[in-house]
């Protein structure tokens, strides 16, 4: 059965705006050098594929492959034909021993909500990596409570290719309590050029440091390094991000 993705990724009009709405993001300064230094790279939940497109444009000569279950996002990615773009979800990836680096960026890891889904995705990533391969990803640290800033007064506005204003505003569905597991929210996109606003509902998983370590260990990964922000600051209890560099342990070490 095909993975159901949020409207933010499945609606062609919203997918076309994704890169503009996320412009100026700080994470590519961390990920791009890792990609450039590695011969074969898989980006899981690649979305519009901007990271891999930047890598190819920057002279990456090796294998670059992006996977995503949202056709509309991959349509944006496909402006670059010299990269493999694969429709699919993390858990059902087909590769064995194929990539030296797997990344999940833009908090794509947090779309994996259920434990079973997370375990299946980590197993597939483990299989896809070569023996000394690394898996690098980030998840928002629940103790930093990022969702408290997902309010309409922190809306982002851009101007689209036709000169129309587009506004993106977040509202958390249950603003007062965090259930220790997930946060659900609605993003409202509006533009004077549309008949009605476009609404996207999402649920993201918030795993703490110990839970991340437990799942990785269970899946056969060793944590090489962890950071708390995109400047590689040490991970602390209140860091905004849990950024993890993990390597594939050989089966005999599990
Ligand atoms: C917030 S976007 C991040 C996109 C991109 N990695 C970035 O850094 O901009 C999350 C992406 O995860 C994808 N996604 C949703 N469910 C997924 C799954 N089960 N496996 C892999 N990707 C998934 C969505 O389609 C979407 O493109």
* Closest residue by CA, ligand 1 atom 8: 106
The contacts of residue 197 (CB under 8 Å, 6+ apart) are 188, 189, 190
1 lies in some domain: no
The answer on 188 and 90 residing in a single domain is no
Domain of 115: which CATH number? 3.40.50.150
The answer on 59 and 31 residing in a single domain is yes
From ligand 1's centre to the CA of 63, what distance in Å? 20
Judged on CB neighbours under 10 Å (0-12, 13-18, 19+), 126 is buried
The answer on 107 and 222 residing in a single domain is yes
What is the pLDDT at residue 179? 87
Q: Which residue has the tokens 């990344």?
A: 103
69 lies in some domain: yes
What is the pLDDT at residue 174? 73
What is the pLDDT at residue 249? 81
2 lies in some domain: no
Residue 226, SS3 per DSSP: strand
Our count of domains for the chain comes to 2
* Closest residue by CA, ligand 1 atom 2: 108
Q: List, for residues 145-195, the tens digit of each pLDDT value.
A: 999 999 999 999 999 999 999 999 999 987 667 888 999 999 999 999 999
Contact indicator for 241, 233 with CB cutoff of 8 Å = no
Pocket test for ligand 1, best of 48, 108, 125 (most atoms within 8 A of CB): 108
Q: List, for residues 87-119, the tens digit of each pLDDT value.
A: 999 999 999 999 999 999 999 999 999 999 999
What mean pLDDT is reported for the chain? 95
d(CA 108, CA 129): 18
- The answer to whether the CB of 14 is under 6 A from ligand 1 is no
The answer on 94 and 20 residing in a single domain is yes
d(CA 136, CA 90): 14
Which domain does 190 fall in, by range? 144-205
- The answer to whether the CB of 89 is under 6 A from ligand 1 is yes
63 lies in some domain: yes
């Amino acid at each position: 059965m095909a993975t159901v993705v949020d409207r933010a990724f499945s609606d062609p009009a919203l997918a076309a705006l994704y890169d503009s709405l996320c412009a100026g993001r700080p994470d590519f300064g961390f990920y791009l050098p890792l990609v450039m230094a590695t011969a074969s790279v898989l980006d899981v939940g690649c979305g519009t594929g901007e990271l891999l497109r930047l890598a190819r444009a920057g002279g990456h000569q090796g294998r670059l492959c992006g996977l995503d279950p949202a056709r509309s996002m991959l349509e944006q990615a496909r402006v670059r034909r010299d990269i493999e773009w694969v429709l699919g979800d993390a858990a059902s990836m087909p590769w064995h021993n194929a990539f030296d680096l797997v990344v999940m960026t833009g908090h794509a890891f947090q779309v994996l909500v259920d434990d079973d889904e997370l375990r299946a995705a980590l197993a597939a990533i483990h299989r896809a990596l070569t023996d000394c391969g690394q898996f690098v990803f980030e998840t928002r640290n629940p103790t930093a409570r990022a969702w408290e800033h997902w309010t309409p007064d922190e809306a982002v506005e851009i101007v689209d290719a036709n000169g129309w204003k587009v506004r993106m505003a977040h509202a958390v569905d249950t603003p007062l309590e965090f259930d220790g597991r997930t946060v659900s929210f609605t993003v409202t996109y509006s533009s004077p050029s549309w008949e009605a606003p476009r609404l996207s509902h999402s649920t993201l998983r918030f795993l703490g440091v110990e839970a991340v370590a437990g799942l990785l260990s269970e899946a056969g990964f060793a944590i090489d390094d962890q950071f708390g922000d995109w400047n590689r600051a040490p991970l602390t209890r209140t860091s905004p991000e849990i950024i993890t560099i993990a390597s594939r342990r050989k089966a005999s070490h599990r």
